[in-house]
Amino acid sequence: MNIVDLIFSRSTAAHPAIISTELQLSYGELETRMKTCAQRMSADSAWPRKERPRIGLNAPSSADYIVLALSILQQNACFVPIPNELTTAERAQLARSTALDAIVHAQNAEEWRIEAVTHDSPPAFDEAVLSALNPAFIRFSSGTTGASKGIVISHETLLARITAANEGLRIGSQDRVLWVLPMAHHFAVSIVLYLYHGATTILAPASDPKVMIEMMRSHGATVMYGSPYHYTMLSGQPDAASLGSLRLAVSTAFALTNEVAELFASKTGLHLTQGMGIIEAGLPILNLQHSKDKPTSIGQPLPAFEVKLDDGELMLRGPGIFDAYLTPWQPREAVLRDGWFATGDVAEVDTDGCYYLRGRVRSVINVGGLKCFPEEVEAVLCSHPGVKAARVSARAHPALGAMPTADIIPQDASAPPAVIELRKLCQERLSAYKVPLFYTFVTELPLTASGKLRRY
Amino acid sequence: MPAIAISPGTMIELVRETVLPDLPAGFSAEADFFEAGLDSMGVMQLVMYLEERFGKKVDPTELSRANFRSGLAMAALVMGQVAGA
């Protein structure tokens, strides 16, 4: 199964697919432009001569980004978006960990070159096993665990998640979606979803709210996908009220605050719908019922999904969960517990069944860009005979953002260990940036319901 | 008024107690902390200790090596805050 073939087998050739400031393509024109591009790619001497090669795409967000991405996918190559904000070292790391076979460097669908990539060592995963999954995408989470794992999404999984997400979004051929987000980060459960459901995608410049509103008006947008940043910017426009004609405005990428939600509603009469989009599962939760009275909630699970809290952690079960982690290789079955995916997000639920995100389960302390794992520091502290329990957390620092600090339950409250001894122990065992600044003796530490240290 | 006197001696004591436990006895007011092993992460930690112990909020613009070079330099940095307060 190939998602691109499926898109065009369902589409109406004359119906508009993409509208941007420089290019307008009907579904028929998009298919022709994609096929021309795909044929030129596969004829290029640098195109890898192997089954299901892994192809990086380095291109600006544009109508032709869609053409290029579909061209790669249509040839049964595995598509690896390369975000343009990555440093040279991070790009090299991405190319190495996904064992990229080639990178397409493109200005548009006509001007591009293919760079064949060679590696000093074989891939860290079994290529045959990856290939057997029918992989469409490899994406990286901007996760907080430091080492990003690489998330494999097959054509089948992609179809399952866009089908499930659309039970909430209800995008159809009559919809015109105003799009302002970076395509290297948002593509699968958005642009692929709109194309599969025959809608029109209107690409507006991300930093120009005036043009966004003009395009929204002139092309009759019905749905918008953006971040709180875009909605704040739009709220400041004199003609913001015209956005009130949208039937749905989805807020994603980062947390929507009450202030932004109220500002946008007061200017447009429209309530922002926050969703929880995650690379591992698509769009399982969306605030369709309570956008007006509870805008900061991510809402309720869409019909295909089950959601629960396990000791405060948000757990998901449903269709379209990723196929595997790439490095280290972990197939879906090895990651899920009875079908449940642990998101790593701490959440709360109210009496209406509306969920709210409250933080991350593993609170890594970011010391000026260096990652400090509290558990590692706590283990060192607990190795001191005078320490019964320890909790390391972040303390705000004016130059570095945060530094670690420790709360300690001593074995004997009447004779706690000397602070200088604890500090020396940490200095001997840990990098300087991980050494807690302060050592506060306490009688208890905050715990979760099941008795684990509460980290939020 | 801070509870602890601000002097090169109390600064050297703070540095020894926190980031440089092996600072030799008799370390002089003008001796160089960096030569004794202080590094930029140590300076970042001292920023927090100065605030806790002396109420000195170090402005990011004051994070120069010169301000943390010696007990004397650090005392001058903290006194500047107190004098100006």
Quick: pLDDT tens for B32-66.
999 999 988 899 999 999 999 998 888 878 888 89
CB contact under 8 A, A399 and B21: no
**CB neighbours of A53 closer than 8 A, spacing ≥ 6?**
A47, A77, A78, A101, A102
Residue-wise pLDDT tens digits, A247-257: 999 998 777 88
pLDDT in the model for residue A144:
34
Architecture of domain B8-84: Orthogonal Bundle (1.10)
What average pLDDT score do residues A21-43 get? 97
CA separation for the pair A108, A397 (Å, rounded):
44
- Per-residue model confidence (pLDDT) at position A375: 85
Distance CA A315, CA A366 (A): 25
Interchain CB contact of B47 with A (< 8 Å): yes
**Residue A85: how many CB atoms within 10 A of its CB?**
8
Q: Which of residues 375-434 of A touch B (CB under 8 A)?
A: 395, 397-400, 403, 420, 423-424, 427, 432-433
Per-residue pLDDT of A408-433, as tens digits, reads: 999 999 999 999 999 999 988 888 88
In this predicted structure, what is the pLDDT of residue B83? 45
In chain B, domain spans: 8-84
- Over residues A433-442, the pLDDT tens digits come to 899 999 999 9
Amino acid identity, residue A172? Answer: G
Provide, as residue numbers in chain B, all residues whose Cβ is less than 8 Å from the Cβ of A438. Answer: 48, 52
| Contact flag A398-B17 (C-beta cutoff 8 Å) | no
- Chain A residues whose CB is inside 8 A of the B47 CB are 397-399
Q: Is the pLDDT of residue A44 over 70?
A: yes
Q: Average pLDDT, whole number, for chain A?
A: 92
| pLDDT (mean) for A222-250 | 93
- In chain A, where the domains are located: 1-362, 365-441
Residue A263: which residues within 8 A CB-CB, separation 6 or more?
Answer: A232, A235
What's the whole-number mean pLDDT along residues A301-323?
Answer: 95
- CA distances A25 to A20, A38, A180, Å, are 9, 17, 18
CA A307 to chain centre: 19
Q: Regarding beta strands A200-203 and A223-226, do their DSSP bridges make them parallel or antiparallel, or are they unpaired? A: unpaired
Contact B18, B48 (CB under 8 A): no
Residue A453 has pLDDT above 90, yes or no: no
State the first-to-last Cα distance of chain A, in angstroms, to the nearest integer. Answer: 43
Q: Could you tell me the CATH superfamily of domain A365-441?
A: ANL, C-terminal domain (3.30.300.30)
**Domain A1-362 bears CATH identifier 3.40.50.12780:** yes
| CA of A435 vs chain B CAs: smallest distance (Å) | 9
Q: Is the ipTM of this complex over 0.90?
A: no
Look at residue A146 in the predicted model and tell me its pLDDT. Answer: 39
Helix axes A258-268, A228-235, angle to 10 degrees: 40
Encode pLDDT of A140-151 as tens digits.
864 333 346 799
pLDDT digit string (tens) for A264-302?
A: 999 999 999 999 988 899 999 999 999 999 999 999 999
Nearest chain B Cα distance for residue A422, angstroms: 11
Judged by CB atoms closer than 8 Å, whether chains meet at A403 and B44 is answered as: yes
**Inter-residue contact A258 to A292 (CB < 8 Å):** no
Q: Which of A158, A159, A192 is nearest to A177 (CA)?
A: A192
Q: Omega of the bond prior to A417 within 30 degrees of 0, cis?
A: no
Task: Spell out where A87-196 has E strands.
Answer: 102-106, 112-116, 135-139, 151-154, 176-179
Please report where in the chains the tokens 């003609």 appear, as a residue. A239
CA atoms within 13 A on the CB side of A77: 27
| pLDDT level of residue A116 (50, 70, 90 thresholds) | very high
Q: Do A432 and B42 touch (CB under 8 A)?
A: yes
User: Between A398, A424, A437, which is nearest B45 by CB?
Assistant: A437
Contact: B48, A368; criterion CB under 8 Å: no
| A259, amino acid identity | E
Check whether B21 has a pLDDT greater than 80.
yes
What's the confidence (pLDDT) of residue A450? 65
Q: What is the three-class DSSP state of A280?
A: coil
Cβ(A332)–Cβ(A323) under 8 Å?
yes
Question: Could you say which residues from 4 to 43 on chain B have a Cβ atom under 8 Å away from some Cβ of chain A?
Answer: 17-18, 21, 39, 41-42
pLDDT value at A85 more than 60: yes
